[in-house]
Structure 1
Amino acid sequence: MNTNIEELRKKYIKNPPDGMTSKDVREMSDEALLDMDYFLNEDDLFDDEAGVEGFYIF
């Protein structure tokens, strides 16, 4: 699993998220890096109606 974390770290060092620098990413703990990756790649964290698409009139 350590190699996956290092790959993520390299990915975000090359292209840090808005508001962060490469130095910020280098200094992050492994857990913080994994959390950041999860939240950046989650589609809609607060979607209460998972699986429901479109607009319906009954």
Structure 2
Amino acid sequence: MDPSTEKLRKKYMDNPPEGMTSEDIRRMSEDDLLDMDYFLNEDDPFDDGFGEEGFYIF
């Protein structure tokens, strides 16, 4: 196991996200743990950038 992934696992086991337990985190695969971390730390998962720049028809 990657040491950085184990640090991440410990971080989430000490303070699990809402709706999860430390046991849930302990049983997660490395890929699932990294995915969870990515989505928890993404700026805005629902912002697709639509309408920020470009051509507008009014």
Q: TM-score, normalised by structure 1?
A: 0.79
Instruction: Mark the runs of 5 or more structure 1 residues left unpaired by the alignment.
Output: 53-58
Q: Provide, for residues 6-39 of structure 1, a one-character-per-residue CA deviation record: whole Å limited to 9, x for no partner.
A: 0000000000000000000000000000000000
- The structure with the largest alpha-carbon Rg is 2
Is residue 9 from structure 1 mapped to residue 9 from structure 2 by the alignment? yes
Q: CA RMSD in A?
A: 1.7
Shift of 1:45: 1.6
Aligned identity (percent) is: 65
Shift of 1:49: 1.9
Residue identity matched to 1:18: E
| Runs of 4+ more than 6 Å apart | none
Number of equivalences: 51
Q: CA separation in 2, counterparts of 1:48 and 1:26?
A: 32
Instruction: Mark the runs of 5 or more structure 2 residues left unpaired by the alignment.
Output: 53-58
